[in-house]
Structures are given as C-alpha cells and as structure tokens.
Amino acid sequence: MPAPQHRQSRITGALLRWYRRNGRALPWRRENDQYRILVSEIMLQQTQVRRVLELYPRFLKRFPTFRSLANARTSSVIRAWRGMGYNNRALRLQQTARTILQQHDGKLPGTVETLQQLPGIGRYTAHALVCFVFGEPVPVVDTNIIRVLSRLFPRAISRDRSGKVNVEAVWTAARSILPRQNAYRWNQALMDLGATICTSFNPQCDRCPVTAFCPSAFRIKKRSPGTKKVEPGREGIPNRLYRGKVVEVLRNVNGRRFLSFSHLAKQVKPNYGERDKRWLRGILHGLERDGLIATKRRGSTLLVSLPE
C-alpha cells in the first residue's frame, strides 16, 4: 500500500470534494454514448483539451456513429481531423470503427484485454474506456496521473537515476488506492488535479486540496523545463511537422485529387531545392506506409494524394 489507510482515506475525501466543486465541465463527461466517449479519448491522446473542445463537436456532426465513420472515405476522415495533429489517430479510429462493426456487433468491447487489440488503443485508453464507458472500477494512468501520484507517494513510486518515474509502480499504486465505489470520479479528479494545479512546472501547491498530505508540496515549485529532445528534421523543423504539412496541403487541394511531387514540395517547403529531394521522398514514403497518403506514377511524374 502506498499510504496508511487513514491517510489514504483523507486524500480520497479531500480530492473528491475538490472535484465536486472544481471538476472541468467537459462535454464527453456528460455522455453515455460509447462511440462519442471513444472519439474523445482518441482525440485527447495527443491533443490539448482546449483544441479538442473546439473540434470534437465538428467531427461528431460529420461522423455521428461507428457506422458512419466506418463507411466513410478515408480521405474524408483525414479532412475532418483537420487541426487535431497526429493524423494516424484518424486512421486508427476508423479502423477501430470497422473492427467493432465486423467483429463486435457494433458495440465497444468491455474488457481491457479486448480493447487493447483494437487499432490505436493502448493500455491507458483501454482502462479509460472500461472505467468511463462501462463504469468498472479500474485504475486509469495518464501523464497527469503519473505526475500526481509520484508526488503524493514518492516512497512507493521509484525513479531511475535520471529521475524518470517507474510507470509500473504508478499502475500498482493507482490500483491499490482506487476507491472502488467512486472510481469514475476519482480517476477524473486525478486528471483534473494534474491538468490544472499539480502541473509539470510551478505547480500551485497553495491551491491544492491534498497539499497537507503531499511530501512533495512546495519542493518543486521552482523547477523549470529541461532541455528538449532533439527530433529528426530539416533546418530546425521536426519531420513530424513536415508530415503534418504534407497532409494539410493535400487536404486543401481544390478540384484536383493529385498533386505532382514538385508542386507539393514547394508548398511544403518554400525554399525546397534538389538537395531536399531524397529527404522529402523519405517523408512521403513514411506517410504512405502509414496509410495517410497515396502515390502513383504518370510517366516520370510522381503524383500524391490523400488515400481513398
């Protein structure tokens, strides 16, 4: 156990009371529809909440059900994902919708193990769906919860020499302290605390409902962001941003389904030169391998489009 029972009980009570007054009023928390909750969880994987709040209703208006998403053209799904980033998620979401229709009678499976077999659903998302869709008392561990629990229970959750948290220890702690009768609210409360108060840098310990129980309180207030990991890229711009730019250019093609390689290159990188040719072809190869674009030859000209 990461904490004596009385301390754990007081933490639970304090956090749930805080959540009752201060929990974020997010639209997917008012949903009972499993498809809509799934869409929100996939969107939230790598996109900030404020962006999801803007784009979530638009996507649902375009694709309101598993069937409408499964039957859509992939190019339409990618276009509807505009502004979300990490476009692979749109493909995985559509593949999941198709799998649910074909193998699960149009219903989201209700176990962590089965959910993790679906495209784009990993350990966190599977647990979140089991808790938030089916109401099962399972722990949910995302980045915010890792941070909150590792600060609340530093003795139970080890770190390596670089300071990186042992994620398995977080899952173990999350499972042991889970209030089974309030699992839904508890998991949402932990996420909200991490997102709004117990933040990565300069946490607001003076506003935290569990400061009195936290050994880390006020000890990390002046930490600053470390050096960012250098990503592969071109002229200081990461390749992932160029990948997104390629997809965005193809989203905006008017009247023509395909763009020539040379036309696309100039739109993706205005100062494109012959020295960039091999690099850009590598970007396109990766996108095609991931199913985000399609290419074909017309004579010596390479043509690029969104997939059908």
- Enzyme catalytic residues: 41
Q: How far is CA 271 from CA 202, 234, 266, 278, in A?
A: 40, 12, 7, 15
Write the DSSP string, 222-287: T----PPPPPSEETTEEHHHHHHHHHHHHHT--S-S-EEHHHHHHHH-TT--GGGHHHHHHHHHHH
Residue type, 188: Q
**Closest listed residue to residue 22, CA positions, set 190, 147, 135:** 190
Q: Give Cα 136 distance to the centre of its chain.
A: 21
Residue 299 CB neighbour total at 10 angstroms: 5
Q: Give Cα 58 distance to the centre of its chain.
A: 18
Label residue 80 exposed, middle or buried (CB < 10 Å: 0-12, 13-18, 19+). Answer: buried
87-108 burial code (b ≥16 CB/10 A, e <16): bbbbbbbbbbbbbbbeeeeeeb
Q: What is the spatial distance between Cα 78 and Cα 127, in angstroms, rounded to a whole number?
A: 26
Count of all residues that appear for the chain in the document: 308
> What's phi and psi for 307, nearest 5 deg?
-70, 160
Token pair for 72: 């859509």
Question: Please, are residues 11 and 4 in contact by the beta-carbon 8 Å criterion?
Answer: no
Q: What is the spatial distance between Cα 165 and Cα 160, in angstroms, rounded to a whole number?
A: 7
Helix (H, G, I), strand (E, B) or coil at 159: strand
